[in-house]
């Protein structure tokens, strides 16, 4: 289920709303002040960052939470960065493996 985020125009706080249907929720009220003027927050930032930006922001000293990998674009980044930090040459084959992992395909399995 998608989560929609809204900024309350009265108190300026952020409301996260879990949608139970396919569309964005309507008739919302701020859960802090009860205000009804909520503006949808879009987060375009994540979509415009390149993979190298994502890799440089990634903290490999700790494991990423489950939510991190709900974004399939993040799949493989941790491994990529760790391997680079260890001085491994990844080569194009690794990109292919990551691409397959992102699209849900298994590698090395014939069907």
Nearer to Zn ion, 7 or 54 (CB): 7
Residues within the interface to Zn ion (CB under 5 A): 8, 10-11, 30, 32-33, 35
Nearer to Zn ion, 25 or 35 (CB): 35
Query: Cβ contacts of residue 43 below 8 Å, gap of 6+?
Result: 5
- Rounded to whole angstroms, what are the CA distances from 29 to 10, 22, 41, 65? 11, 19, 15, 30
Evaluate whether 50 touches 69 at the Cβ level (below 8 Å): no
Query: Cβ contacts of residue 41 below 8 Å, gap of 6+?
Result: 5, 6, 7, 14
What is the distance of C-alpha 12 from the center of its chain? 24
CB of 19 to Zn ion, least distance (A): 19
CB of 13 to Zn ion, least distance (A): 5
CB of 20 to Zn ion, least distance (A): 22
Nearer to Zn ion, 38 or 98 (CB): 38
Nearer to Zn ion, 7 or 81 (CB): 7
CB of 9 to Zn ion, least distance (A): 8
């Amino acid at each position: 289920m998608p989560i929609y985020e809204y900024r309350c125009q009265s108190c300026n706080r952020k409301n996260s709303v879990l949608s139970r249907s396919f569309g964005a929720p309507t008739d919302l009220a701020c859960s802090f002040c009860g205000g009804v003027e909520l503006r949808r927050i879009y987060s375009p930032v994540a979509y415009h960052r390149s993979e190298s930006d994502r890799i440089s922001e990634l903290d490999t000293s700790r494991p990423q939470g489950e939510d991190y990998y709900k974004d399939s674009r993040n799949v493989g980044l941790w491994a990529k960065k760790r391997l680079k930090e260890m001085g491994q040459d990844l080569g194009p084959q690794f990109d292919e493996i990551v691409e397959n992992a992102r699209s849900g395909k298994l590698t090395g399995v014939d069907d």
